[in-house]
Chains A and B, each alone.
Chain A
Amino acid sequence: NAGVTQTPKFRILKIGQSMTLQCTQDMNHNYMYWYRQDPGMGLKLIYYSVGAGITDKGEVPNGYNVSRSTTEDFPLRLELAAPSQTSVYFCASHLGQGVSEQFFGPGTRLTVL
């Protein structure tokens, strides 16, 4: 199993550009999450999904959109990039409610200039 994979690893965007961060998991997990980590801060939840076709906002959803058309994929879309979106983005998944831990991807480092 590859686990959780994310692409790209790094990206530099100009203000106003858009991009999609890709996330795929091969563990057949229902729950998937997008987090951002700013320097000296914990992981902040952007969006989450409890299954294909179901998504909901997390703590910091403004400026982002998601979709979940399959169990495996959970892309994160930035429509109009802003410097405040400079961060490291992590995708995670886990099996379901209860005590299971989350599995994280390696992260995407995004810089908006």
Chain B
Amino acid sequence: DQQVKQNSPSLSVQEGRISILNCDYTNSMFDYFLWYKKYPAEGPTFLISISSIKDKNEDGRFTVFLNKSAKHLSLHIVPSQPGDSAVYFCAARYTGGFKTIFGAGTRLFVKA
């Protein structure tokens, strides 16, 4: 039973446009959410996070939005660049915990 779901296996976007990657979760005990980025033949690297007490967190071109009532979060990348082409993992953590549950990932292609 997947507790963190990324229903889009892939997404293709034109350079300069907005990329929106979506993530849904089922467990209301999750209170901290993270996005990781992964290039081929490398390990995932942390991108941005958000606590459940917020509904938005911004870091440069990257913004994460959290809708707790819908159990949904999204990552916006504006403007998208070819170097953003990677697999993006959504992840969630329990209250007071340290184990992280990962989604299956969305592969983003940014076309020049």
A residues at B contact (CB < 8 Å): 4, 31, 35, 40-43, 45, 48, 50, 58, 90, 92, 94, 96-99, 101-107
Contact = CB atoms under 8 A, between A and B. Distances in A.
A5 to B, nearest CB: 10
B104 A41 contact: yes
Interface string B71-89: 0000000000000000001
B44 A96 contact: no
Contacts of B103: 42
B43 A99 contact: no
Interface stretch (B12-20, B62-70, B93-101): B93-101
Interface residues of B, number: 26
A96 B101 CA distance: 16
A101 B46 contact: yes
B72 to A, nearest CB: 17
Nearest to B5: A42
Contacts of A40: 9, 104
A71 B2 CA distance: 32
A62 B103 CA distance: 21
A62 B102 CA distance: 20
Given A90-B43, A106-B43, A107-B43, A97 B100 contact: no
Given A99-B32, A99-B49, A99-B51, A105 B104 contact: no
B43 A4 contact: yes
Contacts of A42: 2, 4, 6, 89, 101-105
Contacts of B32: 99
Nearest to B31: A99
B8 interface: no
Interface string B27-61: 00000101010000111111001010000000000
A43 B6 CA distance: 13
Given A40-B9, A42-B104, A99-B32, A106 B98 contact: no
A31 B30 CA distance: 19
A10 B4 CA distance: 29
